[in-house]
Amino acid sequence: MTKIAPSILSADFAKLGDEIKDVDSYADYIHVDVMDGHFVPNITIGPLIVDAIRPITNLPLDVHLMIENPENYIPAFAKAGANIISVHQEACPHLHRTIQQIRDLNVKPGVVINPATPVQQIEPILGDVDLVLVMTVNPGFGGQSFIESAVSKIERLHDLREKHHYDYEIEVDGGVNQETARICVDAGADVLVAGSAIFKQQNRKQAIQSITNHLV
Ligand SMILES: O=C(CO)[C@H](O)[C@H](O)COP(=O)(O)O
Ligand SMILES: [Fe+2]
């Protein structure tokens, strides 16, 4: 079954708790987009918000760090209750060390690649991560259009997992809707992040079902 991770980036922040409760029963993870105004041109959520939403849901909090020097903040996100912490390859010169830092805090480590980054850049650490996140937009904002050229990377990650018996989930983030969800799942995606396709709709249950309908 394909997992769904609603991205709260597109939720109404004035009533974030209610927004999370509104998707809680139909989702698998809650995706939390952390931006620092340096790695990406936007500023969003810090550990305080993760700590505040932790008691709202029993779903795993899937924290996507779009920040420079993530190793300085990983302990605070772990303490706040993150279950998965993903770091960008492009932000981590010592990627293996950063992945190990996350695991040592008993949090599942993930690695993220931007649309312009090839899978080859993360091949050496694929055996060490629990999640690989393929960006299908340039990170920084919700509501952008899906970049189709990233789809071959999902296929490649799927093939590498089979070949080497790796254990990661393949997650896709950016521009996921009813149409692009199908393309991602056909290519081998296990987890779909969707922000605007869920939170910009009035009926969130229906929005999630329309993404997952007809998917395996
Ligand atoms: O990481 C992100 C942006 O950097 C978000 O998770 C992503 O953009 C979700 O929004 P949408 O589904 O509207 O594209
Ligand atoms: Fe994200």
**Mean pLDDT to the nearest integer, 146-165:** 98
Give the pLDDT of residue 214. Answer: 75
Q: Look up the domain containing 42 and give its range.
A: 3-212
Average pLDDT over the chain reads: 98
pLDDT value of position 215? 85
Exposure string (b/e) for 29-53, b if CB count within 10 Å is 16 or more? bbbbbbbbeebbeeebbbbebbeeb
ipTM at complex level: 0.98
Question: Is 33 a catalytic site residue?
Answer: yes
CATH number at residue 12: 3.20.20.70
Q: Mean per-residue pLDDT for 189-214?
A: 96
Residue 216, pLDDT above cutoff 90 = no
pLDDT 10s digits, 89-126 = 999 999 999 999 999 999 999 999 999 999 999 999 99
The total number of structural domains that make up the chain: 1
The two tokens of residue 135 are 């960006």
pLDDT digits (tens, 9 = 90+) for 4-52: 999 999 999 999 999 999 999 999 999 999 999 999 999 999 999 999 9
pTM higher than the cut 0.90: yes
Distance CA 80, CA 99 (A): 18
> What pLDDT does 91 receive?
98
Ligand closest to Cα of 11 equals 1
Does residue 128 have a known ligand-binding role?
no
Task: Given the residues 128, 130, 173, 190, select the one marked as catalytic.
Answer: 173
More confident residue, 215 or 96: 96
Question: How much distance in Å is there from the Cα of 161 to the middle of ligand 2?
Answer: 22
Distance 93 CA to ligand 1 centre (A): 24
pLDDT above 80: residue 184? yes
Task: Of 150, 157, 198, 174, give the one whose Cα is nearest residue 66.
Answer: 174
